[in-house]
Amino acid sequence: MNEGDLKSIEDICEQTWEPLYRYIYYKVQNREEAEDITQETYVKSLSYPKLNKIEFKEYIAFFKTVAMNIIKDRWRQNKTRGTNINIDSIAQNEASVEDISDITTQQLFIKSSLDKLNEDQRKVVELRIIKGYSVSETAEIMDKKEGNIRVLQYRALKDLVDIMTENK
């Protein structure tokens, strides 16, 4: 690699890092994870052998595709491993009785709001939002088409917002 290549890599990163980071942050909603994935995206992308065949204006789309694949891999790994929680790291004030009663109240409020949805809406919210199933997995479980699941989820969330705002 010569000095001209390093300059062009620097130019690529300088011109694409902000939209790439924003895209990744939007997907993961965590600053540290977004930074890690952005860095990993550049490492994987810039070592891609056919990178010089991609037009400069198409770099951001290429980087977003690589980033999304990294995000999906991480989600898959977390889904199979589960989430580890270190009980010692929970702050004392988070475990106080007041917080537990607030959480219980919130959970009851959410449950009573969910109970006001029709059966299909409640099931799609449970599978998609609470349990984290994909659209295709949810469609298979509910024996519906993926398009129907998307519409059902949209309407369920819209109705849930309406129910929750009128009950507050």
Judge whether residue 86 has pLDDT over 80. Answer: no
Q: Note the pLDDT of residue 36.
A: 92
> Does residue 85 carry a pLDDT above 80?
no
The identity of residue 133, as a single letter, is Y
In 3D, which of 126, 150, 146, 148 has the Cα closest to residue 137? Answer: 146
From residue 33, alpha-carbon distances to 39, 68, 90, 99, 164 in Å are 10, 13, 20, 27, 31
What average pLDDT does the chain have?
80
Mean pLDDT of 119-123: 91
Share of the chain above pLDDT 90, in %: 24
Residue 5, judged by CB atoms within 10 A of its CB (0-12, 13-18, 19+), counts as: exposed
Q: Residue 101: its pLDDT value, please?
A: 64
User: Would you state the structure tokens that stand for residue 83, as one six-digit string?
Assistant: 């989430």
CB-based contact 38:67 (threshold 8 Å): yes
Contact 35, 44 (CB under 8 A): no
pLDDT at 6: 52
pLDDT at 3: 46
Arithmetic mean of pLDDT, 85-104: 54
> Across residues 150-162, what is the average pLDDT?
88
